[in-house]
Every structure is written in structure tokens, then in C-alpha cells.
Amino acid sequence: MDPTVRQEVYDTYWKFAAERQSIFHRRAKGEGSPWTGDPILGRFKFCNTFRASDRVSQYLNRDVIYAPQAEEYSAEDTFLRITLFRLFSKETTWDLLEDATGGRRTVDIRH
């Protein structure tokens, strides 16, 4: 049995996704709220439409994958760091682990 496209559901999803992305752009440009007339999108928080834009993914990129000392890590170590971070996805937990294991090192950028 082939799946049946329910056009109304499909259209509703894309309308929601497009408005969510529009909200993201309005906020990024610094426009004041309300960023939408939609009562649900205006009241509740949703993940960013692009996962890489959310706060935790930005932290993962900046402080876990591409940390100042990241060049010293093998591909396997980087994979382990990503996997470990994603087990809990919480910046404060990662910071505690880095501090406790000596993983966080201050890089002297003067040289």
C-alpha cells in the first residue's frame, strides 16, 4: 500500500516551518516582538528550524568540536567528545567535565 499524501497536513506543516523560520530571521535582525501574529508560535518556544542555529548546537560547535585545543585531538577523540556531550547536551555539565579532567586549557594567542 502506497502512502497517501494528505495535502492539508503537508501544507499546514510547511506553513508552520516557514513562519518559524521567519520568526528566527526577525529576531536575528533585532526586530522587536511580537515577531508573529500566530498565537501558538508567539506564546511557546520551539527549536530553531535549523538545528545548527540553536544555543546548545552553537556551544557544541564552538566549545566541544572547535575548541581552541581541538587541533590536538584525533578524529576518534573528537567523535568521543561529540558523543559524550550529546549524552546530556548541557553546557554546564560539559564545563564541569572539562574542568575536572583538565580538558579545558587556556590558549595563549599572543604567539
Instruction: From first to last of the 111 residues of the chain, give the pLDDT tens digit.
Output: 788 888 999 999 899 889 988 988 898 899 988 889 999 888 887 776 677 777 888 899 999 999 888 888 899 999 999 999 999 889 999 999 888 887 765 444 433
Answer yes or no: do 30 and 64 share one domain: no
111 located within any domain: no
Written as nine digits, the cell of 14 is: 510547511
Answer yes or no: do 65 and 96 share one domain: yes
Looking up cell 495535502 gives: 7
The backbone torsions φ and ψ at residue 8, rounded to the nearest 5 degrees and listed phi first, read -65, -40
Residue 15, domain extent: 7-43
The rounded distance, in Å, linking the Cα atoms of 32 and 78 is 39
Task: Specify the pTM.
Answer: 0.56
The rounded distance, in Å, linking the Cα atoms of 99 and 26 is 37
Answer yes or no: do 58 and 37 share one domain: no
77 located within any domain: yes
Answer yes or no: do 13 and 39 share one domain: yes
Answer yes or no: do 92 and 73 share one domain: yes
Looking up cell 555539565 gives: 93
Answer yes or no: do 68 and 94 share one domain: yes
95 located within any domain: yes
Q: How many structural domains comprise the chain?
A: 2
